[in-house]
């Protein structure tokens, strides 16, 4: 797999499904690798990136400042409403998403994973299915991921991208529409039953505050890759200082995808 440069011609599609299936079988995979999307797989926040399609490439001041972390989906809905009312069509939104660069070294990491059957790869993101599927297909990366857990999205008859919450939950730490820990726990349990055995290790790569909750479910045998200097990394550092031993998985900060690849190569050499 080779990631395409921004501006390359991409397949045309109307809607994106909330999940995708990897073409190759993942039953032989020894490890589960979970990815966040915004500022992890890609180097931007996709909600901010799509604003490039807006008039004058900016939002009204009231909308740009009205953003509460637990109501992220509602804020995204307001952005889509503004774009629709401003006459921004699907092709402009698609083009804005296709132009988002991968995170530094992202192509190296994705190519490494795609070339091996040891890893079952999944995306868990509070973005939406249209943004993620559009970017993955344009980048040539959609075949890597067995599953994509995200908020469903599709264009309505008026040409507006409508987002729906992924699920409801009772976790007080997470946005109302998504608890990544609930998704992780359910998926790991489901796959263990289907495979007849658990994964040997679970890896999680992310950047944001909402990536902390799922990693609290991981154990000492698992590894978390927080993006260096981003909220997730800072929170983990604080947890290590204030609650020693509370955060179980090993932690490998990353600046580039190569940092993750170097660690995974060492894991593969273990018996």
Query: Annotated active-site positions, please?
Result: 36, 38
Helical H segments across the chain, by residue range: 46-49, 61-65, 72-85, 90-98, 106-114, 129-139, 180-195, 212-215, 231-242, 257-269
| Backbone angle region of 153, left / alpha / beta, with phi > 0 → left and psi within -120 to 50 → alpha | beta
Distances (CA, A) of 38 to 29, 94, 236: 25, 16, 19
Do 229 and 256 form a contact (C-beta atoms < 8 A)? no
Distances (CA, A) of 234 to 21, 44, 103, 225, 226: 34, 19, 19, 12, 9
Contact residues for 135 (Cβ-Cβ < 8 A; gap 6+): 42, 46, 97, 98, 100
The reply to whether 38 sits in an annotated binding site is yes
CA quadruple 185, 183, 204, 213: dihedral, nearest 10 = -90
The structure tokens 């894991």 sit at 267
The reply to whether 222 sits in an annotated binding site is no
3-state secondary structure at position 230: coil
Cα dihedral across residues 171, 172, 178, 179: positive or negative? negative
The reply to whether 255 sits in an annotated binding site is no
Q: What is the end-to-end Cα distance of the chain in Å, rounded?
A: 28
The structure tokens 């800072």 sit at 234
Q: Residues within the annotated binding site for substrate?
A: 47, 126
């Amino acid at each position: 797999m080779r990631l395409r440069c921004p501006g390359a011609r991409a397949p045309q599609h109307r809607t994106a499904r909330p999940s995708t299936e990897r073409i190759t079988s993942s039953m032989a995979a020894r490890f589960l690798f979970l990815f966040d999307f915004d500022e992890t797989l890609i180097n931007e926040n996709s909600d901010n990136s799509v604003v490039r399609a807006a008039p004058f490439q900016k939002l009204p001041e009231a909308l740009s400042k009205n953003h509460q972390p637990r109501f992220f989906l509602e804020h995204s809905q307001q952005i889509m409403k503004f774009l629709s009312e401003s006459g921004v069509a699907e092709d402009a939104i698609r083009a804005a998403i296709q132009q988002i660069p991968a995170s530094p070294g992202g192509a190296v990491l994705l190519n490494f994973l795609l070339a091996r059957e040891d890893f079952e790869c999944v995306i868990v993101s509070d973005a939406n299915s249209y943004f993620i599927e559009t970017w993955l297909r344009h980048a040539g990366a959609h075949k890597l991921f067995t599953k994509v857990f995200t908020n469903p999205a599709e264009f309505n008859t008026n040409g507006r991208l409508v987002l729906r919450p992924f699920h409801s939950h009772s976790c007080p730490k997470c946005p109302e529409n998504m608890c990544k820990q609930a998704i992780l726990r359910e998926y790991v349990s489901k796959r263990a039953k289907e495979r007849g055995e658990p994964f040997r290790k679970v890896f999680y790569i992310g950047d944001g505050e909402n990536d902390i909750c799922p990693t609290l479910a991981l154990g000492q045998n698992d590894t978390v890759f927080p993006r260096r200097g981003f909220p997730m990394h800072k929170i983990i550092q604080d947890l290590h200082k204030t609650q020693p031993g509370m955060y179980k998985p090993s932690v490998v900060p990353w600046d580039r995808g190569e940092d993750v690849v170097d660690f995974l190569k060492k894991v593969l050499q273990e018996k």
